[in-house]
Structure 1
Amino acid sequence: MSQFTDLSRINVRGGDGGAGCMSFRREAFVPKGGPDGGDGGNGGSVIIQADAQLSSLIDYRFKHHFRAERGTHGQGARKHGRNGEDLVLRVPVGTIVRELDPQTMEPALDLADLTRDGERVVVAPGGTGGLGNTHFVTSVRRAPAFAQLGEPVDDHWIELEMKLMADAALVGMPSVGKSSLIAHMSAARPKIADYPFTTLVPNLGMVRAGEYSYVVADVPGLIEGASEGRGLGDQFLRHIERTALIMHVVDISGGLEGRDPVEDYRIINEELARYASELARRPQIVVANKCDASGMSERIERLKMAALADGRRFFAVSAATGANLSTLMLACGEEIQKLRRELVSEQHEPMEIQDDIWERRRRARERHFTVERESDNAFRVRGTLVERLVVQTEWDNEEALLYLQHRFSQLGVDAALEAAGCGAGDEVRIGARAFEFEGSEEPFEDARDRWEDADQAKDCAARGADLADDQGESMGSAEDDRANASRSRP
């Protein structure tokens, strides 16, 4: 576990959905009142939301398990269960949210990159409440004697990684004077001493120079091999990724070891390129510090030639005396303003649209399913939506099983099984259940024609993804109406 609070792993779980009710209206002088079972409430979701008031992930350093509230069961007389409360976890702006593989505990999927205040993503959706038996009435099934169970949900681990949101980053070897520079440029007061690795956590400072204002990050010193983790370099390098401008600070005196400044300059640039190739192309200003020392002219000229050869601006300054710092600060402000204009021209969608993008991606992942052969006559179907249908089915109710079979056909599961080589009599496994395959209700070619996305039609793993929102002939509009109604009821 990192000693910093810029990387945390937490276990999250949405609330279980409440069960739908199987009930019939019983009232004097109404012998055939019909079904009146209410829907179960949806479970609450765990939501990660960016908050500009936070600066670290310290809240998740010691507490690692978070649970949302479950939904309550439906009742007779069309009484719907109450939805569970969502659990909102706040993180600093600039936090990346990743899904972890349950076996290896390694990052498996990027869920969201929260770069704006208030931006949010659902990381543990609550279970869907089961539908009451009123939703399963058809012209031939007037008195359905079954309802859906509530969807149980599982816990899983996610990773939160905070990357500083700064306009510029001071980068360089240890003890080159980065902390002294940020102290002179801003109101930041980092620890300053004459030994390596004085700075162990990044510091932020607000710089005001003329008409410009921008945020500078003082990143702890890097050494050769930093991209591979030496000296905690990989943990420090992540904070450079979001900065628009790199201020590469070089100790022109060579320090106590008498290092060659040009060699230091090359080493740091190579480490940036190894960590992320895009960092090698990031706009960079080369800053030769400690130029007040005597006999530095030749070293300054050599480093200047190396920087200009790479197409980078060069400044010789002294953090101790303040020489040329005003010029450097103005130049950085000018460069950052130009980079901001370029960013505005490529501005992303409004936050509401961005939130909707994360949500649509999550739903698309839920609709996705795969079919794989586990043995000669056994096939496994994996997918959030199809597994949800299975766990919400009453397996001791024949009507409910017939309805489940019909839903699988509508979603393209049967057709995808046939395409994978599954035949009548083969075993199909979904979640903890197994059943015998009886064949598709429609030919595979006909099902494929109904899929609007050509890429999904070619891939059995995504078959039915664009049909999953349609909850059946008698259920499609009913679930949509119910979902809208459930948001407004307590």
Structure 2
Amino acid sequence: MPTNTFTDLCRINVKGGDGGAGCMSFRREAFVPKGGPDGGDGGNGGSVILECDSQLSSLIDYRFKHHFKADRGTHGQGARRHGRDGEDMVLRVPLGTVVRELDPQTMEPAFDIADLTQPGQRVVVAPGGAGGKGNIHFVTSVRRAPAFAEKGEPAQEHWIELEMKLMADAALVGMPSVGKSSLIARLSAARPKIADYPFTTLVPNLGMVRAKSGMSFVVADVPGLIEGASEGRGLGHEFLRHIERTALILHVVDMTGGYEGRDPIADYRAINAELVAYASELAQRPQIVVANKCDMPGVEDAVALLGEEARKDGHPFFAVSAVTGKGLEELVTETAKQVSTLRQQIEVEAPLVDVSAEVEHRRQRRDRSITIKMESRGIWRVSGGAIERMVIQTDWENDEAVAYLQHRFERIGLDNKLAAEGCVPGDEVRILGYAFSFDGPEQEDEFAELVDDDDEDVALDVTIVDLDESSDAAQDSDSKGDE
């Protein structure tokens, strides 16, 4: 039994490469007994990048493999030798792929990351961790021989959802077994499976159609819909998504009523109702009504009634036969004309949009935000991507490194903000698995001359949340780090 090689929805876990650690080293050579610091920086980790590839037609590459990780950066070394950056991992996806972030708790889509619709378009979905700084960066007029360096930044790991929506000019839509596959086979070089039973087509098919005018357009054969498809009946949601991107709908109706002897007018109304229920904007989408199997005897009255109904709704109407070819030339001509008009309404040769910059900007905004929760009297929880990264990159076995971390807290205004919200000296401040005793805003210290661009970028977008004291018991299990 042949396997289905068409995949249009999948979830994958992506992780950038960790950053390499900075080096703590001092210059050592003949006749230079007290050389200065010369520790190199760690290399940045590689990023996981999605790239749009027009040669791909599905997400089959991610059907069985779900975990992807970029290379890590190497550690810095003495003599100012910096670590090598990790290589990026580029994952190729088809045109029309929507990328969504998944909530780590519920595994439900949280927000859209990007919509990749142009060949070569890229988006970073898992940035690599920054390499730690060597001790050459921590020299001041007071501290001439800093004996510490930063650890590398661990990279982000998370789950994302990839959803492919076909990029076609027109979509053949209708009930099962109305002859959509026969139409696309007759109009184009596509060769879908054709049989006389419902749901013969299980995956969408694309075909290129060329009109006599020389214009060509892409038509999609979408598997049959049934009443209730917008609510997920049958495989409704699996196929309705592919209609969203098409500029024109070719609504195919079986004039014979099929094996069930259905009413063509009722079928026409039912499919339109499902389109509207799934996405209200589909009601405004240009539509051509196609009465198929008009070569069969006894369908003349039904064709006339459907034509009247379609024109009443403002839709062009064509009576055709996929078997004899009746009316197909006129249908192709009208479809090509409407597609041309619709294309002119859009900027045909739109410049390639680099979505990575916008996505990275949104990520940095989320990363810089800091949340302060008062877990109980005298105990405060501080969380946020940037501030947690500072803690992770600190060498807790080194007193100088811990002192520098306290200096960084002062630079971003965390101590002042805690004090303004009611945190007093002696209160406990928790970040990740570490606990600190709050001493209040610090005065001038030996690190005051250091300028850290990363710290300057951390804007305090603080949210204060008061929790019940009952949460204290759950938090008491957190481990405490040595100051």
With the length of structure 1 as denominator, give the TM-score of the two structures. Answer: 0.85
Q: Aligned in 2, Cα 1:419/1:266: closer, same or farther, shift over 3 Å? A: farther
In the TM superposition, what are the counterparts of 1:236-247 in structure 2 within 5 Å?
236-247=239-250
**Quick check: 2:127–2:156 contact (8 Å CA) kept in 1?**
no
| TM superposition shift of 1:299 | 1.9
How many angstroms apart in 2 are the aligned matches of 1:158 and 1:419?
Answer: 38
Distance in 2 between the 1:270 and 1:371 partners?
A: 49
> Map of 1:183-332 to 2, 5 A cutoff?
183-209=185-211, 210-332=213-335
- Give 1:93's aligned residue: 95
Q: Which residue of 2 aligns with 1:369?
A: 370
Q: 1:418 to 1:92 in 2, by over 3 A?
A: farther
Other structure's SS at 1:201 match = coil
Checking the alignment, whether the CA contact within 8 Å between 2:129 and 2:156 is kept in structure 1 is no
Q: Which residue of 1 aligns with 2:54?
A: 52
Q: Deviations over 1:44-81 (max 9, x none)?
A: 11111111111111111111121211111111110111
AA aligned opposite 1:113: D
Q: Deviation string for 1:296-332 (max 9, x for gaps)?
A: 2332232223222322222221112111111111111
What is the aligned-residue identity percentage? 69
Q: 2:180 & 2:110 partners in 1: Cα distance?
A: 36
Per the alignment, residue 17 of structure 1 pairs with 19
Report the CA distance shift for 1:4/1:441 in structure 2 as closer, same or farther (over 3 A).
farther
- Partners of 1:163 and 1:103 lie apart in 2 by 26
Q: Which amino acid aligns with 1:211?
A: G
- 2:345 aligned counterpart, secondary structure: helix
Cα separation, 1, equivalents of 2:317 and 2:442: 72
Show the 5 A alignment for 1:324-473: 324-344=327-347, 349-351=351-353, 353-418=354-419, 421-440=422-441, 460-461=462-463
Q: Report the alpha carbon displacement of residue 406 of structure 1 after superposing the two structures with TM.
A: 2.7
What is the CA–CA distance in structure 1 between the aligned matches of 2:26 and 2:434, rounded to whole Å?
30
Counterparts of 2:409 and 2:301 in 1: how far apart (Å)? 77
Could you list the runs of 5+ residues in structure 1 that have no partner in the other structure? Answer: 443-451, 463-490
Provide the rounded CA distance (Å) in 2 between the counterparts of 1:292 and 1:4. 34
Distance 1:205 1:415, change over 3 A: farther
Is 1:171 aligned to residue 163 of structure 2?
no
Tell which deviates more after alignment, 433-442 or 240-249: 433-442
Task: Give 2:127's aligned residue.
Answer: 125
CA shift for structure 1 position 380: 2.8
User: What is aligned with 2:452?
Assistant: none
8 Å contact from structure 2 (residues 128, 156) kept in 1: no
1:299 alignment partner AA: A
**Are residues 1:79 and 2:81 paired?**
yes
**What amino acid is the match of 1:264?**
D
- For 1:289 and 1:440, the matched residues in 2 are separated by 79
Contact 1:20 1:147 in 2 (8 A): yes
Cα distance, 1:370 vs. partner? 2.9
Which piece of structure 1 moves more, 84-93 or 28-37?
28-37
| CA-CA distance at 1:175 after TM superposition | 0.6
Q: Distance in 1 between matches of 2:222 and 2:421?
A: 53
Hey, what's the Cα distance between the residues in 2 that align with 1:240 and 1:193? 23
Amino acid at match of 1:164: L
Change (3 A) 1:391 1:173: same
Unaligned runs of 5+ in 2: 444-455, 465-483
Give the Cα–Cα distance (whole angstroms) in 2 for the partners of residues 277 and 146 of structure 1.
60
Q: Is the 8 A contact 1:19 1:130 kept in 2?
A: yes
Per the TM alignment, residue 181 of structure 1 is displaced from its structure 2 partner at its CA by 0.8
Q: SS state of the match for residue 393, structure 1?
A: coil
The answer to whether the 8 A contact 1:371-1:420 is kept is no
Compute the displacement of 1:425 (Å): 3.3
Residue 159 (structure 2) aligns with: 157
Cα pair distance change 1:313/1:424, threshold 3 Å = farther
Which residues in structure 2 correspond to 1:132-147 (within 5 Å)? 132-147=134-149
Q: 1:410 to 1:231 in 2, by over 3 A?
A: same
Distance 1:461 1:327, change over 3 A: farther
Shift in Å, 1:421 = 4.7
- Measure how far apart 1:377 and its partner are: 3.3
2:436 counterpart SS class: strand
What secondary structure, in the 3-state scheme, does the structure 1 residue paired with 2:118 have? coil
Contact 2:13 2:159 survives alignment (8 Å): yes
Find the aligned partners of 1:118 and 1:234 in 2 and give their Cα distance.
28
Matches of 1:219 and 1:186, distance apart in 2:
15
Whether contact under 8 Å (1:212, 1:330) holds in the other structure is no
Task: Give the C-alpha shift of residue 364 in structure 1.
Answer: 3.1
- In structure 1, what residue type is equivalent to 2:433? A
Measure the CA separation in 1 of the matches of 2:328 and 2:279: 29
Normalised TM-score (structure 2) = 0.87
Distance 1:357 1:153, change over 3 A: closer
What is the distance in 2 between the residues matched to 1:211 and 1:412?
66
By how many angstroms is 1:100 displaced? 1.5
Aligned-residue offset at 1:436 = 2.8
Q: Structure 1 residues 300, 436: CA separation in 2 closer, same or farther (over 3 Å shift)?
A: farther
- Tell me the SS of whatever aligns to 2:83: coil
Secondary structure at the counterpart of residue 343 of structure 1 = coil
Q: Deviations over 1:74-100 (max 9, x none)?
A: 111101111111111111111111222
Deviates more, 1:120-129 or 1:168-177: 120-129
